[in-house]
Amino acid sequence: MMESRSPICNTCGEEIGVKSNGEFFVACHECSFPICKACLEYEFKEGRRICLRCGNPYDENVFDDVETKTSKTQSIVPTHINNTPQVDSGIHARHISTVSTIDSDLNDEYGNPIWKNRVESWKDKKDKKSKKKKKDSKATKAEEHEAQIPTQQHMEDMPSNTEAGATDVLSVVIPIPRTKITSYRIVIIMRLIILALFFNYRITHPVDSAYGLWLTSVICEIWFAVSWVLDQFPKWAPINRETYIDRLSARFEREGEQSQLAAVDFFVSTVDPLKEPPLITANTVLSILALDYPVDKVSCYVSDDGAAMLSFESLVETADFARKWVPFCKKYSIEPRAPEFYFSLKIDYLRDKVQPSFVKERRAMKRDYEEFKIRMNALVAKAQKTPEEGWTMQDGTSWPGNNTRDHPGMIQVFLGYSGARDIEGNELPRLVYVSREKRPGYQHHKKAGAENALVRVSAVLTNAPFILNLDCDHYVNNSKAVREAMCFLMDPVVGQDVCFVQFPQRFDGIDKSDRYANRNIVFFDVNMRGLDGIQGPVYVGTGTVFRRQALYGYSPPSKPRILPQSSSSSCCCLTKKKQPQDPSEIYKDAKREELDAAIFNLGDLDNYDEYERSMLISQTSFEKTFGLSAVFIESTLMENGGVPDSVNPSTLIKEAIHVISCGYEEKTEWGKEIGWIYGSITEDILTGFKMHCRGWRSIYCMPLRPAFKGSAPINLSDRLHQVLRWALGSVEIFLSRHCPLWYGCSGGRLKLLQRLAYINTIVYPFTSLPLVAYCTLPAICLLTGKFIIPTLSNLASMLFLGLFISIILTSVLELRWSGVSIEDLWRNEQFWVIGGVSAHLFAVFQGFLKMLAGLDTNFTVTSKTADDLEFGELYIVKWTTLLIPPTSLLIINLVGVVAGFSDALNKGYEAWGPLFGKVFFAFWVILHLYPFLKGLMGRQNRTPTIVILWSILLASVFSLVWVRINPFVSKTDTTSLSQNCLLIDC
């Protein structure tokens, strides 16, 4: 319950007063326009007897029995989604995206502007703050502080539980042992010194007989060295973290009291249910609904960006099955809580299950799940062929999303307080279906646009302070995963400046050898832990818990502010009437070059006077940033979440439909400075980068039991296309204004090593160019008899030996502190070469064509049916142009090896010594491409003929051109050759 003042007069700013019967003074009974008695009398004297808002005449008896300038408290029931009428929670038709200011519900139920209510609340907060400073008693100070801080902020000031020990600490940093990290850093420095000496030798000792080969190799080696520096030094200070979930519960979940844990909104995104099986999405949703977390703190939003009726109907079935599955999981503490993966576990499920009823209930639940799967498969089979007239719902009406490119916004609330309960009568978390509006002529920005739509609709309906986004094929593997994240985000010391907590990605369904490095173990267990010791890991697209305020573009509360550069600026940076005397006092952030709208730090509002504060939160400045929705705008100012109390509950769904309209983002900062950032198909890297540039930091959380698990492409073609997409996104960022080479340098909030890490994420595709050249050099050397290195001296031999030893030592020490196996490291090294000479190479050319010439080239994969065998898809080879470059390199190097041995046999014993270095160089390329060769052949040796033909053709053309041009071999003097021929006695 919340107390509210008398509404404010829209003319003079005074309270409108109440009548003797306790009711507020109302001048116009048609629209409740707020105006006090004195102002209304002046209007009557001037001859204006018509309401300024609606145009209806005033009642002549409005002055009877009025007491001006009095106030009365009135309780306002907090609005909630469960108060929404049932008629508003179903499928909604087209909603007009351009609403006027009057029709956009910018006033509360008394007609009072929301913005003035916000000013009054801050005025009260300032008064209480000034009173607090005059108090000398600590107890009184604590009471005053509790009165001014919202309930969800009390968690930071709750006393420690003496029985639990030091419960103030929810997480600790565990540094790498000094012996491991010190030796690791020493070897890195030694390798850097050896590299400098190595390049000094390479540059000062050219190979005159093969100058072109030597120059090419030196350029490639310099690029590889730079790439190593960009990749290595962000791992300079890796750390581990440990969380204490029991202390979190002891602090925020006291017995007999309501849980004080923060609410979390889950986002699950899907597009095409025929490519992303609805059963997998259903398992993800079920694992979220069954979390070990208070049900009133969990809301699950499923984004159907394809507006498919199959997705909607499958969610209906999922909501019904959740009524049985959720209580079963919580009763027996099931792990994981995705039924498909729980029932597929090959373990003794009777172990540690002492309840006699468990076996019976488990068998019954498994039967129910099998029936659920049958119904889901029936829906999928039905959706295989779309009727000519389009899909029709059960009530006979046409499905609004029959045209996937032209349909209205749709929202359906399935579960929640007002929805169905589980079979035991308990409440379930909210489950909301969302499909944003799409119209021709509008740019929808794919996944990033869908995520931003979910941000807005969730802010209107639930507005949890934290957001966790998951791909539809990533289920919750650890039911306590959210509690793990809250140990950081709700920690009053650690979580103040944390914008998101990133969990590592783990995958099911991959063979043990992990031939194509699908698990990405080196990246998630080495690189990300290194970044955690700097400013935090990068955002990888899924398994991330965000602070909602960080997504809105606000700066971290404790970051030092930048003093204003001038006395005036645009709408978001106002002219200060009087500068504070103390320079250490907190200022509002000056208008940063990347911001063109009203994005500021909430903590700065208390440092402005009443007039400046009212201007800062003016409707105009916020609309230019967040769009035309008063309900959403007010929700952005609520740091601790919750639905604004000033909104009418009957308009929530209408407002939610409005914020997902296709034209809502026009002329706003969505996708530019707030929300998921547009401009790259890897919007995750770009979004996290913008947050780190603002001064936020992130945290890497690696619980013993993986928090989330997903499915990864395991066959060669799909894996290469996945890597192509990532690399193309990096090239797009490199060619955009957000390039980490220069973006955000002026603010100085991005640490140097963190910037190096982001630079590495956008320049690594360009390594494909020197890599292709370097992998071609062995074949050229074998075919021409030349080499890129001159005859080695003792000093040169020591340099080469030292370089190889430093490389090995760096890898070994990295394995020691990270715990990664040598097989994972080798697989990562192999796929770095495979992806570099194929997907990365295509990404560079495709990125330049797309960004510079406007040509969007797509390399599509033709699907084939997999055999019904374990890892059967691993052996499928799908035709794609990405297969041609690495296949050509393999053939060229194999031909070169054969030619080299043939030449050595012809020349005799003296030729075998130089041949060793060349063959070793060639075998280095072949060993790195071996998984590609094995995957290309497949189990049944069914390599696409076109791949072999293209590769042989390219290798043959290359060989013929080489013989004709032969650029790297010194030309033979034909005159002396003819003279020598004349001396031959035939």
Predicted confidence band of residue 766 (pLDDT cuts 50, 70, 90): very high
Q: Which of 108, 304, 305, 525 is catalytic?
A: 305
Would the pLDDT of 52 be above 70? Answer: no
Tell me the chain's radius of gyration from C-alpha atoms: 33
Phi-psi region of 111 (alpha: psi -120 to 50; beta: other; left: phi over 0): left
CA distances to 33, 218, 782 from 111, in Å: 6, 74, 85
- Across the range 662-684, mean pLDDT stands at 87
Query: What distance in Å separates the CA atoms of residue 34 and residue 387, rounded to the nearest whole number?
Result: 55
Q: Which of 539, 538, 519, 537 is nearest to 529 (CA)?
A: 537
Q: Which tens digit of pLDDT belongs to each residue from 356-384?
A: 778 888 888 999 999 999 999 999 888 88
Helix (H) or strand (E) holding 269: strand 264-270
What is the pLDDT, as a whole number, of residue 11? 65
Predicted confidence band of residue 183 (pLDDT cuts 50, 70, 90): very high
Q: Which tens digit of pLDDT belongs to each residue from 549-590?
A: 899 888 887 665 433 333 333 333 333 333 443 333 333 333
What is the pLDDT, as a whole number, of residue 962? 54
447 annotated as belonging to a binding site for a ligand: yes
- Assess whether 136 carries a catalytic annotation: no
- Pull the structure tokens for residue 908: 């005799």
Q: Which tens digit of pLDDT belongs to each residue from 147-178?
A: 333 333 333 333 333 333 444 688 888 888 88
Range with lowest mean pLDDT among 88-102, 261-275, 395-409: 88-102
Averaged pLDDT score across all residues of the chain: 75
Predicted confidence band of residue 100 (pLDDT cuts 50, 70, 90): very low
CA distances to 121, 251, 652 from 149, in Å: 12, 17, 26
What is the pLDDT, as a whole number, of residue 484? 93
What is the pLDDT, as a whole number, of residue 456? 92
- Pull the structure tokens for residue 956: 């043959």
- Across the range 416-422, mean pLDDT stands at 72
Q: Between 716 and 530, whose confidence is greater?
A: 530
Would the pLDDT of 875 be above 80? Answer: no
786 annotated as belonging to a binding site for a ligand: no
Whole-structure pTM value: 0.74
Would the pLDDT of 923 be above 60? Answer: yes
Would the pLDDT of 821 be above 60? Answer: yes
What is the pLDDT, as a whole number, of residue 917? 76
Q: Which of 265, 684, 718, 824 is catalytic?
A: 684
What is the pLDDT, as a whole number, of residue 759? 93
Would the pLDDT of 592 be above 80? Answer: no
Predicted confidence band of residue 31 (pLDDT cuts 50, 70, 90): low
370 annotated as belonging to a binding site for a ligand: no
Would the pLDDT of 105 be above 70? Answer: no
Q: Which tens digit of pLDDT belongs to each residue from 935-955?
A: 666 544 455 555 556 566 666
- Across the range 52-80, mean pLDDT stands at 49
What is the pLDDT, as a whole number, of residue 669? 86
Predicted confidence band of residue 509 (pLDDT cuts 50, 70, 90): confident
Q: Between 637 and 539, whose confidence is greater?
A: 539
The percentage of residues in the chain with a pLDDT greater than 90, rounded to a whole number, is 24
Query: What distance in Å separates the CA atoms of residue 756 and residue 841, rounded to the nearest whole number?
Result: 22
Q: Are 171 and 491 in contact (CB under 8 A)?
A: yes
Q: Between 508 and 766, whose confidence is greater?
A: 766
- Across the range 226-238, mean pLDDT stands at 92
What is the pLDDT, as a whole number, of residue 234? 92
446 annotated as belonging to a binding site for a ligand: yes
672 annotated as belonging to a binding site for a ligand: no
Q: Which tens digit of pLDDT belongs to each residue from 714-732?
A: 777 788 888 898 999 899 8
Q: Hey, what amino acid is at 318?
A: T
DSSP code string of 525-565: IIIHHHHHTTT-PPP-SSSEEEEHHHHTTPPPTTSPPPPPS
- Assess whether 305 carries a catalytic annotation: yes
275 annotated as belonging to a binding site for a ligand: yes
